[in-house]
């Protein structure tokens, strides 16, 4: 968590207001903390709308991210006897994690409120708050879309369909395309159709997986292995494209073989049919009929083409003429390319990740296929024809050897150039892959039950290749909770040297002076890598990983210089609750009396709030009453 915050703050833009001051432990946050307490007391005292509610304030001096504090409160509240299943939740915020946290709560009435996200270059100063546009996302509607997307799984015999478990797995899938704590898997980008690829593979492997991948925050690695094994083909596709190795196959080695005119005409007809009906509302009933195709090789071309495009194909004879008849069509449960759910999920996730590029979709964008399918169609029309595209076995053993040699070199270059890691070093590779899957488990546990370990961090800037995640079924994990960093330790771990004014003077020299024993932790220049992304803010900041032992040792030697006020600011504080108490007036002093008068009478009682104690085994699981179980769909509909 510390390392993730460091990446963010080293990338901050320089301007007159250093936004890095919005970090727990800074003087700015201490002042803001006190003003927020004043504001809440004032509102409870004077505003009737605030007097009938309980207000809970968890400030910067309480460890943890704001959205996760809220979710911890909701999790614990749901276990209480007096919790109402009809309660409605609304969270305001811009963080991409919010949609995942709202989904995994499995609450029927949940929405997210956020300001309109505009591109930085187009942003104009807001004159009036009334001009600010807001977006409201109903999580129940999003849940309905996901239920629609995966509804085909309900038709599978002996498979217990559970939309709650599907949503839990969806949250896991989204981690692969990028998360605050883990880099995205190589060549798996949201803007390049990654969501559709993952959905398709998930629907394929789930029926034979023996259960779901994510069990309320517990990762089933043996089931995850099935998904990763299928995802390898996506890596192979990118290998062929990125290396320009046109003579080799997309995923399985093959040899060149030219299409004859008849076969090319057949391919053109299938492509035309595919493009015409991919986005048609009547896609599931569309059918292409080809007459008189009896040549075995022609049929093989069509069979393999249908397989790659996920079309069904049948071979028959015309009942009247007995001439060969071939039919092709879309599977009824295959929604990958036409599915508005994929587009919706893609759009929501991209928007919540804050790229600021909210632009209307043009018809050409709508009809753009995912990158893998476009690549398949492009290669189909290329001469000489590549049999390897359709999964043919190599004609020569040497072809297979060459393919694996090319791919091994490609992967070796990735690890060497990105991470200075030797691909043939099995120990290093195991550490990398284990750390990545361990990160998946840490994130899930963080989402569902809270922090598993305060000190855990993924120790690499990049993720491993999918094909090297081939032994995850055997991986085991254990986390030691530890304790969070104190406010000043957190500041020293996440701020760059240019923001040293936000830490106490006692520690500033450690960030800037040439003789500092930890000066290397605060580089003034560093490399960034887009790593397949399109925007500078998405780039990886290749700054050193924080060595907490060195950091704490260096700070300890200077702690004696701290002033009393700074020592107090370096302590953790409590969570506060506020209640309207008209019969017990008090006096609340303002820290800025020239701007905000003292409150008297103050009719707000401010006391320390403690979350209810709940057995760990039930955290993260939905407390669902019989009423909810019987009427869940009706309750969801109320949110629409």
Whether residue 205 contacts residue 226, with contact meaning beta carbons closer than 8 Å, is answered with: yes
* Residue 384, pLDDT above cutoff 80: no
The residue ranges of every structural domain in the chain are 150-247+407-474, 261-338+354-385
In the block, residue with structure tokens 């309660």:
87
Could you count the other beta carbons within 10 Å of the beta carbon of residue 393?
11
**The pLDDT value given to residue 380:** 63
Q: How confident is the model at residue 34 (pLDDT cuts 50, 70, 90)?
A: very high
The pLDDT of 396-400, averaged and rounded, is 56
Highest mean pLDDT among 264-278, 551-565, 622-636: 551-565
Q: How confident is the model at residue 450 (pLDDT cuts 50, 70, 90)?
A: very high
- Model pLDDT for residues 49-87, shown as the tens digit of each residue: 999 999 999 999 999 999 999 999 999 999 888 899 899
The pLDDT of 511-524, averaged and rounded, is 96
Task: Tell which residue, 34, 26, 30, has the closest CA to residue 501.
Answer: 26
The pLDDT of 464-485, averaged and rounded, is 96
> Can you tell me whether residue 248 is helix, strand or coil?
coil
Return the higher-pLDDT residue of 181 and 372.
181
* Residue 575, pLDDT above cutoff 80: yes
Q: What percent of the chain has pLDDT over 90?
A: 54
> Can you tell me whether residue 289 is helix, strand or coil?
strand
Cis? peptide before 384, omega within 30° of 0:
yes
Tokens describing residue 409: 């070199």
Q: How confident is the model at residue 210 (pLDDT cuts 50, 70, 90)?
A: very high
The pLDDT of 35-39, averaged and rounded, is 98
Q: Which helix (H) or strand (E) holds 175?
A: helix 163-175
Task: Tell which residue, 527, 625, 621, has the closest CA to residue 164.
Answer: 621
Strand partners of residue 113 = 92, 136
* Residue 591, pLDDT above cutoff 90: yes
**In the chain, what is the greatest distance between 2 CA atoms, to the nearest angstrom?**
98
The answer to which of 10-14, 259-263, 470-474, 610-614 has the lowest mean pLDDT is: 10-14
Highest mean pLDDT among 2-16, 271-285, 487-501: 487-501
The DSSP secondary structure of 202-214, one letter per residue, reads HHHHHHHHTS-SE
The answer to which of 144-148, 259-263, 297-301, 359-363 has the lowest mean pLDDT is: 359-363
* Residue 573, pLDDT above cutoff 80: yes
- Report the alpha-carbon distance of residue 439 to residue 427 in Å, rounded: 18
Q: For 362-395, give the secondary structure using H, E and C.
A: CHHHHCCCCHHHHHHHHHHCCCCCEHHHHCCCCC
In the block, residue with structure tokens 């450690």:
510
- Report the alpha-carbon distance of residue 43 to residue 47 in Å, rounded: 5
**The pLDDT value given to residue 178:** 83
In the block, residue with structure tokens 């960030």:
511
The pLDDT of 451-467, averaged and rounded, is 96
- Model pLDDT for residues 81-129, shown as the tens digit of each residue: 889 989 999 999 877 789 999 999 999 999 999 888 665 544 555 557 7
Q: How confident is the model at residue 6 (pLDDT cuts 50, 70, 90)?
A: low
Q: What percent of the chain has pLDDT over 70?
A: 78
Average pLDDT for the chain:
83
* Residue 609, pLDDT above cutoff 80: yes
Q: How confident is the model at residue 638 (pLDDT cuts 50, 70, 90)?
A: very low
The pLDDT of 165-185, averaged and rounded, is 95
The answer to which of 339-343, 405-409, 480-484, 522-526 has the lowest mean pLDDT is: 339-343
**The pLDDT value given to residue 395:** 45
**The pLDDT value given to residue 245:** 44
* Residue 636, pLDDT above cutoff 90: no
* Residue 220, pLDDT above cutoff 90: yes
């Amino acid at each position: 968590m510390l390392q993730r915050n460091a990446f963010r703050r080293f990338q901050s833009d320089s301007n007159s207001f250093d936004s890095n001051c919005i970090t727990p432990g800074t003087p700015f946050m201490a002042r803001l903390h006190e003003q927020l307490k004043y504001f809440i007391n004032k509102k409870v005292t004077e505003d009737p709308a605030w007097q009938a509610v309980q207000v809970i304030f968890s400030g910067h001096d309480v460890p943890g991210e704001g959205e996760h504090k809220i979710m911890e409160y909701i999790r614990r509240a749901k276990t209480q006897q007096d919790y109402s299943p009809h309660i409605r939740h609304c969270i305001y915020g811009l963080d991409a994690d919010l949609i995942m946290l709202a989904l995994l709560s499995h609450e029927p009435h949940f929405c997210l409120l956020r300001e309109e996200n505009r591109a930085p270059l187009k942003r104009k100063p807001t004159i009036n708050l009334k001009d600010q546009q807001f977006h409201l996302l109903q999580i129940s509607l999003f849940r309905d879309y996901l239920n629609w997307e995966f509804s085909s799984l309900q038709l599978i015999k002996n498979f217990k369909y559970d939309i709650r478990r599907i949503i839990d797995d969806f949250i896991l899938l989204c981690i692969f395309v990028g998360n605050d704590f883990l880099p995205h898997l190589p060549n798996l980008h949201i803007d390049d159709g990654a969501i559709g690829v993952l959905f398709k593979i998930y629907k394929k492997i789930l029926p034979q997986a023996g259960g779901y991948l994510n069990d309320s925050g517990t990762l089933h690695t043996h089931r995850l292995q099935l998904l990763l094994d299928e995802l390898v083909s996506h890596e192979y596709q990118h290998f062929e494209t990125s290396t320009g190795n046109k003579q080799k196959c997309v995923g399985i080695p093959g040899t060149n073989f030219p299409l004859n005119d008849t076969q090319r005409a057949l391919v053109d007809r299938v492509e035309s049919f595919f493009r015409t009906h991919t986005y048609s509302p009547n896609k599931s009933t569309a059918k292409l009929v080809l007459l008189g195709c009896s040549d075995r090789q022609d049929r093989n071309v069509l069979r393999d083409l249908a397989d790659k495009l996920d079309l069904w194909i049948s071979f028959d004879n015309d009942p009247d003429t007995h001439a060969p008849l071939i039919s092709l069509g879309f599977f009824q449960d295959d929604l990958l390319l036409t599915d508005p759910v994929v587009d919706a999920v893609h759009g929501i996730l991209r928007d919540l990740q804050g790229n600021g590029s909210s632009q209307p979709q043009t018809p050409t964008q709508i009809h753009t296929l995912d990158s893998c399918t476009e690549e398949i169609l492009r290669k189909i029309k290329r001469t000489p024809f590549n049999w390897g595209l359709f999964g043919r076995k190599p004609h020569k053993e040497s072809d297979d050897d060459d393919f694996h040699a090319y791919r091994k070199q490609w992967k070796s270059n990735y690890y060497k150039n990105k991470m200075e890691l030797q691909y043939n070093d099995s120990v290093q590779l195991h550490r990398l892959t284990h750390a990545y899957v361990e990160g998946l488990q840490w994130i899930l546990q963080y989402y569902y039950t809270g922090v598993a370990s305060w000190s855990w961090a993924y120790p690499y800037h990049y993720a491993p290749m999918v094909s090297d995640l081939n032994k995850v079924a055997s991986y085991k994990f254990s986390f030691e909770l530890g304790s969070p960093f104190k406010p000043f330790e957190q500041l020293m771990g996440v701020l760059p040297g240019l923001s040293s004014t936000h830490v106490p003077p006692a520690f500033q020299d450690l960030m800037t002076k040439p003789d500092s024993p930890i000066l290397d932790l605060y580089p003034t220049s560093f490399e960034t890598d887009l790593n397949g992304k399109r925007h500078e803010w998405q780039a990886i900041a290749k700054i050193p990983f924080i060595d907490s032992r060195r950091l704490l040792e260096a700070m300890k030697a200077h702690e004696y210089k701290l002033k009393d006020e700074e020592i107090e600011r370096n302590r953790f504080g409590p969570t506060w609750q506020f209640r309207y108490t008209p019969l017990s007036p008090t006096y609340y002093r303002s820290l800025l009396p020239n701007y905000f008068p003292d409150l008297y009478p103050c009719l707000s009682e401010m006391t320390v709030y403690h979350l209810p104690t709940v057995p760990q085994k039930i955290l993260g699981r939905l407390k669902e009453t019989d009423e909810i179980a019987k009427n869940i769909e009706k309750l969801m509909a109320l949110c629409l």
